[in-house]
Amino acid sequence: MAFIQTIDENEAEGELARLYKRFANPDGSVDDILKLHALNPGSLDAHGALYAQAMHGPSPLSHAEREMIAVAVSRINQCHY
């Protein structure tokens, strides 16, 4: 498994802090999958845009169907996120 340096929410500054605040959970925590972008805030912003388009953009699929596909793919990939 690769090790990727991350930055905690309480240590983030500048653009990263702004993005963390934007993508934070209601309790202020940031999911680990998003912290993987800590050293490249631009990729975090792009990740958020891709997620928003895939899950909330125009599509013949309902939101529930999109979530079901995401869960099925994660299960197949043995991803516990």
Do 20 and 12 form a contact (C-beta atoms < 8 A)?
yes
0.95 surpassed by pTM: no
Residue 31 in 3-state DSSP?
A: coil
Model pLDDT, residue 80: 76
Structure confidence by residue, pLDDT tens digits, 60-73: 999 999 999 999 99
Q: Which helix or strand (DSSP H or E) is residue 20 part of?
A: helix 14-23
Structure confidence by residue, pLDDT tens digits, 34-58: 999 999 999 999 999 999 999 999 9
